[in-house]
Amino acid sequence: DVCLQARLTERYFYESFANREELFAAVYQHCIGQLRASLVAALAKLPKDPQAMTQMALRTLYTELRDDPRMARILFIDVLSAHGDMDKHSLNAMQGFSDLLESYLILLAPQLKKAKLDASLISTGLVGAVVLLVMRWAVTGFKEPIDDMVRNSAVLFEAMAGHVERCCPPESGTAVRR
């Protein structure tokens, strides 16, 4: 079916991929790379303002997925039933996004360490929560408007920032804006 849709002979397919699982892994990695590049590009345009960065990252994520529902399905639905090593690809992708978020948390909230909070654990939890929200959103046909998804997802990030500020207020001149 893949070869028929792509108008290729099976020979060309098997020159590039050993099987359908290998093809799925390549498509999955391509989608992850595209999503990550979009997020990094969107964030690079902004000042170091946690609220603006959170809003932009979430808006970019939800827009990309709504505009390409195939990507959402591949990354958040089909990967769950894929065979082979896709569970490892999925975990690596989530870890990559968690690492990206962790680097922003350390940059934007250096007082995390002083508050004895682990930026790695926080970023993993936030990414996990957003992944579950995206899965629900995709499965229900992107029913909620993007603004609602952004506003409700941002609450998680804002709650974390508020907690950090209460535990360990930033030094003067380095206030974290939510």
Contact call for residues 154 and 96 (beta carbons, < 8 A): no
Q: Write the single-letter amino acid at 111.
A: Q
pLDDT more than 90, % of the chain: 48
Q: Write the single-letter amino acid at 66.
A: R
Which of 126, 176, 177 minimizes the C-alpha distance to 156?
126
pLDDT band at residue 155 under the 50/70/90 scheme: very high
Measured distance CA(151)–CA(36) in Å, rounded: 21
- The neighbour count for residue 101, using CB atoms within 10 Å, is 23
* Average pLDDT for 86-112: 87
Contact call for residues 136 and 147 (beta carbons, < 8 A): no
Measured distance CA(30)–CA(165) in Å, rounded: 38
Given the structure tokens 């498509």, which residue do they identify? 27
pLDDT above 80 for 156: yes
Entry pTM: 0.84
Query: For residues 135, 101, 91 and 131, what is the CA-based torsion angle, rounded to 10 degrees?
Result: -10
Two structure tokens written together for 116: 């004895």
* Average pLDDT for 151-171: 85
- Eight-state DSSP code of residue 170: P
Strand locations in 60-168, DSSP E?
A: none
